[in-house]
Structure 1
Amino acid sequence: MAVKLSERAAQEVERFRKEHDFGDDMVLRIEVAGGGCSGFEYKLNFDDKFDETADSKYESFGVAVVVDKKSALYLDGTTVDWYESLEKQGFTFENPNAVKTCGCGSSFQA
């Protein structure tokens, strides 16, 4: 399995890339780091580095997504979506590996 972006999430990534003048060589890096109220938290960044031995690379709706192999253990099968309402907006994570998530939506337990 892979890490996927929904079509709406891919549109937001592309909007952000253009707004900040990031070139096509910049990929979206998704990572898992220790922290947050449930033990792990998601990190999204743009990166111009890709190491074939340390990273996996996927593509969703024309957006290159890179995940390091350690994070891939926790993210396999995850879909990143974009949520927007009057109260808040941002990326959401549908992670089948999470056994518990925090109300904030950016922290999980595996």
Structure 2
Amino acid sequence: MRFISALAALVSGGCGSASDKLPPEMRREASKSSVVLTIAAASRIKEILKSSKLPLTTSVRFSVTGDSDVGYEYGMDFSDDFDHIKDVRSSSKGVTIVIDKTSRAYLEGTVVDFGVNDEGRTGFMFNNPNAITEEIE
């Protein structure tokens, strides 16, 4: 198993409402796949693969960890592993994506982008239509 943790520092979460800002073609593509990459996200992933001297055929593994009590967190790593029973494989913008079947339910329809978020931080952003945010008063 080969994982590169360089992606972990670049992951930031988004909320479901951000998907409303997506163009209709991205929403359609997202509805057909668990995770869809924007051109910016796919380009950044390919840059990281190249600078890490990994083959462009290396998969990006997306996951969700945590629970409803403490919250959920997105995970993103490079991996050569694929379990035909536990994982699902897809492709977006020339990048192979692997998701374990449990995480897939949480990531259904998610669009992953790369850029600057509302807080001015640069990284990968998850626009997940399934995400629920609660305001604490």
Query: So what's the TM-score if we normalise by structure 1?
Result: 0.82
Query: Secondary structure of 1:100's partner?
Result: coil
Amino acid at match of 1:94: N
Offset at residue 101 of structure 1 (A): 7.2
Matched residues in 1 for 2:93 and 2:55: separation? 17
Given that residues 38 and 101 in structure 1 are in contact (C-alpha distance below 8 angstroms), is that contact kept between their aligned partners in structure 2? no
Instruction: Count residues in correspondence.
Output: 101
Match of 1:80 among 109, 112, 119: 112
**More displaced 10-residue stretch of structure 1: 24-33 or 7-16:** 24-33
**Structure 1 residue runs without a partner (length 5+):** 103-110
Relative to structure 1, the CA distance from residue 80 to residue 38 in structure 2 (aligned partners, 3 Å threshold; closer, same or farther) is farther
Query: So what's the TM-score if we normalise by structure 2?
Result: 0.67
Using CA pairs below 8 Å that are at least 6 residues apart, which structure has the higher relative contact order?
2
Give per-residue Cα distances to partners, 1:6-63, cap 9 Å, x unaligned.
111000000000000112342000000117x960000110001111211111111100
Relative to structure 1, the CA distance from residue 101 to residue 24 in structure 2 (aligned partners, 3 Å threshold; closer, same or farther) is farther
Given that residues 50 and 56 in structure 2 are in contact (C-alpha distance below 8 angstroms), is that contact kept between their aligned partners in structure 1? no
Given that residues 32 and 43 in structure 1 are in contact (C-alpha distance below 8 angstroms), is that contact kept between their aligned partners in structure 2? yes
Matched residues in 1 for 2:57 and 2:91: separation? 13
Amino acid at match of 1:9: A
Task: Name the residue aligned to 2:52.
Answer: 20
Query: Secondary structure of 2:43's partner?
Result: helix
Relative to structure 1, the CA distance from residue 101 to residue 57 in structure 2 (aligned partners, 3 Å threshold; closer, same or farther) is farther
Given that residues 46 and 56 in structure 2 are in contact (C-alpha distance below 8 angstroms), is that contact kept between their aligned partners in structure 1? no
Given that residues 36 and 109 in structure 2 are in contact (C-alpha distance below 8 angstroms), is that contact kept between their aligned partners in structure 1? yes
Relative to structure 1, the CA distance from residue 101 to residue 45 in structure 2 (aligned partners, 3 Å threshold; closer, same or farther) is farther
